[in-house]
Structure formats: structure tokens, C-alpha cells
Structure 1
């Protein structure tokens, strides 16, 4: 991935994030509802599997239910991807000042740095998204939307509540992004080197031979690797971000409490609830993200070269 021109990276990342959310949001709602359903007393309905969940939500809640939390999802994803690619490219540029090529370790460090910074900026948005996705038509005192949720949370729980789930979110953002982008960069390098060796082209131009299909495969493969390793952090974060009961008492006190209770009552399977919907959502979504990102970035760079 080329380094430099950070505003192009931010714009490409934001466009990629918007395309991704628009395509995959109903599966995100299903995933979140599976993640918090610990089998104990809950105001959420129980679903047998992902298709059953999609059908039930569509039948009982309509399109509004399938796209609950869509606005904060679009806002958060657009900001996250824009900032992520910006911080990621900045970090890579900084590391390249003292060397000709980045090692896998430096790709990992760049992705981890970007992930941590993004998490601090976007946690309140993701918390609101999670709570809106968990609302059902019969819930007492529902939020009317994104801004009402923010105001209500600040009024009833204080600003600290906006950062519930920050710790697992940091682990998730740093490790997930680091694994995904490191895998993407290394797989991408392998493809380019393979084509260079077999075509006899200059390695500086081999990157131009990658097509949208290549970006789709690379994006999906790297995403799958990251999901399998980091998914438990998503479950922990979602359970922490649930809205407290009317008495104001949260179901889980902190990350360690979630880990202990989940392991005690549900075992290892509890940490992977909703993973089917997550894979169905994120594998093709990652393909779309990197197709949009790489093509928008190439278009912006081509336009910039024409202006020079």
C-alpha cells in the first residue's frame, strides 16, 4: 500500500466505511443481539440462527428493526475508517523515514497505533449504536434516536458511560486491525512478488496489475484471520455496553466480570455467540472496503499526478 498523501487515504477510507455499513447493517444488528443473549433473563427475543433472526426481526420490527442504529453505524464507520487509514499511513510514513521497506512487525505496529487512536475517538458512537440495536418495540423508555440516546446517557449515567467497553474495545481495535492489516499487507506483497517473478515486470509497476477481484480476496482473507482471533473482545464489549435496567444497575460491572460470568454459564461457546452473522457480515464487507479503498485511492493519486 503506498505511503503518503494522507488526505487521500482518509477520503478513501471514509468512502470504504460508508459502503461497507450500507451493505451489511442488518447482519450487524443480528450479531449484536446474539452477542448479548447470555441465556439468562433478557428483554430480547431468542433466535435459533442467523436466518431465523433476520426473518423474525423483519416480521416483528420491519425495516426499522433491521436498520436499528444505522445512523451511528454510518457515522462511526465513516469516521473510523477515515481516521484509521489516515493514522495508519502516517505511522507507516514515519517508520519509512529510516528504512527502505517495512517489516511485518512495523506493519503490525502501524496498525496497532492507528487502532488505539481510533478507539478513543469513536467509543461513544459505538456504544450508542449497540444500545439502539438492542432496542425492541416493547422496551420501556426507548431512545428515539442517536441524539436522544446521547442526551439520555449523559443525563442518567454521566459522561463515563460513553466509554463503557473501552478496554475490550482497545484490545479489539488494536489487535483486530493489526492482524487484519498485517495479513493484508503480507498477502498483498506475496501476490505482487509472485506476479513479478512470473511476468518479468518491474516490481514498482506490479502493484498496478492488481484488480478489484484481488482486493476482494485479500480483504476477505485478512478479515477472517482477524475475526477468529479477536471475536471474544466483541462479545465482552457488547455485553458491557448494554443499557442498565430501570434501577440503573448494569448487568456486568467490568470486563473481568463479563469474562468470569460468560465462562461460568456458557463456556467457550459464549465468547463466540453471533460469529456466523459476523463472518457473513465482515468477510464480504472487508472485500467491499478494500475494493473501494484501493480504487478511490488510485483515482485520487491519478488525479493528483495529472495536476502536478
Structure 2
């Protein structure tokens, strides 16, 4: 392996490691708002096992009072696992894609190719992590009112889903997830400066594609006791949401989403940049 190739390989793993650390830190701090967002997104007014919340603050206090810290951190393990893997894989795939596009361009990439690299990385990340996000969503939706036997943890959830619904169930919500992740990461990759990312990313993405987050969450719900899913596919979610809730249904959880993602973006990139600085001297001195 040449010196240049070795250096490039080290840089890829520096990015992956820093991204994984950033993902872990973000989930650890912001997970309660993620629980609130998920419960708002799936609450179409016809779900009996979900309590009604007036707003984000009321949801946080209600969950804390009735379910304790465990409720606020429901699905934390798959959340940490998914976020850590996602950010680690994203920066790895993103760097790989940029290298491939830059081979015949003297190392220079246009903004469009940066965007394409980021979108490609986002799609690959989604394919790799969808099973983890599905389990996280289901654990977050378990409440004391739940009628079906609850999953006892992440391992039990994976095992039960595989036994009761088959492997295909792990890819419920993959269509909106592929689009959502590609757009999320494309916006991220097209923004070159940290300050610009922190100012524009949460609002551009969360206001432009909230419906995809709602669709993904609703598709990933656990089937009822008779094994019939509440929503069959993406188009079914679109029709039923429009029919019973109107345009407002597509924006459920938007407040919790914005409250979560603005500071989450800051945490992610502050941790990412600092871990990267710590790793650079170490790898360069090897």
C-alpha cells in the first residue's frame, strides 16, 4: 500500500470513528425529544394504546410522570446503536464516494458531486440501519396502555419480529427512509461550513420533508394483536392520513423535531470536529 493510499485509508477511519462518537453523544442528550416526536407522529387519533399529549412540554412531563426515566429513554439502546452506526457509515461512504467521483477530476469536486456523494451515502446508510430504526420506533411506542405483549428489550424485539413477521418486516418504512436519508445527508454534504450547517440544516430539512418522517414512523408500528399492520405501504399512509387528518397529519411531531434537531446538529458537529482533531495527531504519528 502506497503512503498516499495508507493516509487516505487512515482518514476514512478517522471520519468513521469521529462520526460514530458524534452520533452517540447526540442520542444520549436528545433522546427524550425523539421519543416525544415518534409518539406524536404515529398518533392519528385512532390508536388506543397511546396517551394524548397537548404539546411537546406536556408530553415530556406526562411521560416522565407516568413512565419515569425509562419511558423518556425508551428505545435508547437501538437509538444509540443506530445513530452511532449511521454517522460512522455515513462519513465512511461519503468519503469513498467523493474519492470515486474525484478520480478523473484532478481531486476537485463540484457542489453537485458533493451533493451526489452525500445522497449516495445516505441511501446506503438507510439500507444498513433500517432494522435498527424499526426496533427503536417500536420500543418508543410501548406504553403502560399497550395491549400486545411488550418487547423486553432490543434482543427480544429483533427475535419476536423475526418470528412473528419475518425478515421483510425489518424493512418496513424503507421507501420514505431512503428518500428522507438521501435528502438529509445531501443537504448536509452540500453545505461546506460548520456555521452554515448549524444555521440552515435543521430548518431546511425538517420543514421540507416532515411527511416522510411521519410515514416512516407509521409504517414501522407494531401490528395489532391479529397481526394486521395498521398501514400496508407508503401510499396507504398517504391516503389514510389525508382522509382522517388532512395536511396537519403530515406535520405531527414537527415541534419536537425542530427542538431536537437544532441542538442535535450542534452537538453532532462539535463532537465530530473535536474527536477528529484528537484522532489526527495520533494517526499521523504512527
What's the TM-score bracket when you normalise by the shorter of the two chains?
over 0.9
1:143 aligns with 2:122: no
Q: Given the alignment, which residue of 204, 213, 216 partners 1:237?
A: 216
Q: Does the aligned pair in 2 maintain the 1:84–1:114 contact within 8 Å? A: yes
Of 121-130 and 95-104, more deviation after overlay is shown by 95-104
Q: Which residue of 1 aligns with 2:180?
A: 172
* Offset, 1:295: 1.8
Select between 221-230 and 41-50 the one with higher mean Cα deviation: 221-230
Equivalents in 2 of 1:128, 1:216: separation in Å? Answer: 33
| Match status 1:20 vs 2:21 | no
**CA shift for structure 1 position 96:** 1.9
- Deviation by residue 1:51-89 (Cα, 9 ceiling, x = unmatched): 000000000000000000000000000000000011011
Any conservation in 1 of the 2:117–2:189 contact (CA below 8 Å)?
no
Divergent runs of 4+, >4 A:
none
1:101 shift after superposition:
2.5
Q: In the alignment, which residue of structure 1 is the partner of 2:94?
A: 88
- Report deviation, 1:94: 1.7
Corresponding residue for 1:265?
244
Instruction: State the shift of 1:220 in Å.
Output: 4.5
- Superposed displacement of residue 40, structure 1: 2.0
1:216-295 mapped onto 2 (5 Å cutoff): 218-295=197-274
Verify the 8 A CA contact 1:177 1:226 in the aligned structure 2: no
1:30 aligns with 2:36: yes
Equivalent residue, structure 2, for 1:125 = 132
Q: Distance in 2 between matches of 1:90 and 1:298?
A: 20
CA–CA separation in structure 2 for the residues paired with 1:15 and 1:138: 35
**CA deviation profile, 1:127-174 (whole Å, cap 9, x unmatched):** 000000000023230110100011111111111111111111111111
Describe the SS at the equivalent of 2:209: helix
What pairs up with 1:29-68 in 2 under 5 angstroms? 29-68=35-74
Partner of 1:198: none
Query: Which TM-score applies when normalising by structure 1?
Result: 0.86
Contact 1:216 1:287 in 2 (8 A): no
Check conservation: 1:220, 1:286, Cα contact below 8 A.
Answer: no
1:254 and 1:77 map into 2 onto residues whose CA distance is: 25
Give the Cα–Cα distance (whole angstroms) in 2 for the partners of residues 137 and 40 of structure 1. Answer: 17
**Distance in 1, Cα, partners of 2:47 & 2:81:** 32
What secondary structure sits across from 1:58 in the alignment? Answer: helix
Q: Deviations over 1:182-201 (max 9, x none)?
A: 1x22xx1xxxxxxxxxxxxx
Match of 1:152 in 2: 160
